[in-house]
Amino acid sequence: MSTNGRHVPHAQQHISHQGALPATPDISEIEQERDLPEHYAVLVEHNGPLATRPLPTRAGNPTTVIVPATGAPVLGRDLRRARVTLLSTDNAFYYASKAPATWSTATAALWPANVPLVLLHGDAISCACSTAGVSTIAVIPENMDGN
């Protein structure tokens, strides 16, 4: 016999352990519900480096901006932005968080054409073409909240 009074075939041939199911249990014993809480609170203290993975961003609105040598704002400050990728398809360009009075390597970062620039901040972004012409810059922002 099992613990709930039902007959279990060949139970007398097996060694019985208290709380363990017999070798050939009745299906109702397997499917019975237990009164267990849904969640357990466990205190975890971690000492040392902890591997993490960033969550995928939820949205982005890619655009193309034509910037002259005099510079132009590309994106405004946005704290929801997780990252943005800038890619000039024709000319090298200058990048700065604030547009300087004159664009040069002393006031902004010079970035080559056809090389993605990935920025992991929400500051304002301004760009300028490094030559006398214009730069066509693909702007691919990735926002955390879906907008």
The CATH number for 82's domain is 2.60.120.770
60-103 tens-digit pLDDT: 889 999 999 999 999 999 888 888 999 999 999 999 998 888 89
- Within-domain flag for 97: yes
Q: pLDDT digit string (tens) for 77-86? A: 988 888 899 9
| Two structure tokens written together for 79 | 């704290």
Please give the structure tokens belonging to residue 10.
């060949």
- For the segment 8-31, the average pLDDT, to the nearest whole number, is 57
Q: Which domain holds residue 86?
A: 63-143
Number of domains in the chain: 1
47 is written with which tokens? 């000492």
For range 17-27, the mean pLDDT? 62
| Rounded Cα distance, 1 and 6, in Å | 6
Arithmetic mean of pLDDT, 31-42: 65
For residue 70, give every residue at least 6 positions away whose Cβ sits within 8 Å of its Cβ, in sequence order, or none: 103, 128
The mean pLDDT value of the chain amounts to 80
What tokens appear for 133 in the block?
């012409």
